[in-house]
Amino acid sequence: MPETLKYGVVFPQLEIGADPIVIRDYAQAVEGLGFDYLLAYDHVLGANPDRPGGWKGPYTHTEMFHELFVLFGYLAGLTQRLEFATGILILPQRQTALVAKQAAQVDVLSGGRLRLGVGIGWNQVEYEALNQDFHTRGKRIEEQIAVLRALWTDPLVTFKGADHSIPDAGLNPMPVQRPIPIWFGGMADVVIERMARLGDGWMPNPTDMEQARRLIDLLHTSLARHNRRPEDFGIDIRLSAKTQPRADWTPFVETWRGMGATHAGFNTMGAGYQTVDEHLAAIRQFKDEMGF
């Protein structure tokens, strides 16, 4: 069981708006309250629900999502110690070398404060628009991890794989962290095995505790299979102001902490807050409840 948890907040993408001063003030307030990290969700495009064939995803073109690397690059110079976490970046719909470059740049500008959470996603419309194959995304991400780590650790890389070819080339500047930590999102059994083999940590989606315990057992079994220790593998949980009353916050966090959670993030999106001040007031309540 970790002696101490790191506490974070989920950037309220859907409600914060596009005013850069408001975004700055929010991040600086989060850092000033003593939180360890800011986690942000990722979408490049939103689909029109009236498109041919319809749309059943949770987000449409009406929801605002700031681009993660640009957002974190902006905030890097406005904060001193706040870690930035992508939660999660949909990696297989992107060019891998470009992701490596963007992530390295954020890591440089922030002084080594980036944690890259990745996953395969669910939005087929985005994959089509970004000219990537939705159906091979699970296989593609594994090679992408190898390419990212090579580019972040070696000044020159020669790589030939199923989806990537790098002919003796490299990044400049290199990241501060070599390599940048890569955490996985997702809840499927195959994803648990993949992260145990390739990842530095897990960002689970909210789920019931029975399912959580089953996945933790599977994770520990998979880590052991790859000669890895649970103590060296992070778990970043999230709790929601929308769905979880304050009386449940501490029991939820402590239960997960007993299962090895290393990070706990508080999500204020969708909870009915109308202003940034209301989001920050809820965050202060979370801080008080956790006692840090």
Give the 3-state secondary structure of 63-97. Answer: CCCCCHHHHHHHHHCCCCCCEEEEEEEEHHHCCHH
Identify the pLDDT of residue 273: 95
Q: How many CB atoms lie within 10 A of CB 109?
A: 17
Rg of the chain over Cα atoms, rounded to whole angstroms, equals 19
Identify the pLDDT of residue 2: 65
| Coil, strand or helix at 118 | strand
DSSP H helix total and E strand total for the chain: 10, 10
Identify the pLDDT of residue 4: 86
Q: How far apart are CA 6 and CA 61, in angstroms?
A: 33
Average pLDDT across each block of 10 residues of the chain; the chain has 292 residues. List them in order: 87 96 98 98 92 84 95 98 97 98 98 98 92 94 98 98 96 98 96 97 94 96 97 97 95 96 97 95 97 94
Q: Which of 253, 43, 9, 231 minimizes the C-alpha distance to 127?
A: 43
Q: Are 149 and 179 in contact (CB under 8 A)?
A: yes
Q: Which of 46, 38, 97 minimizes the C-alpha distance to 68?
A: 38
Bond from prior residue into 204 cis (ω within 30 degrees of 0): no
Q: Which of 60, 41, 38 minimizes the C-alpha distance to 49?
A: 60
The CATH code belonging to domain 6-290 is: 3.20.20.30
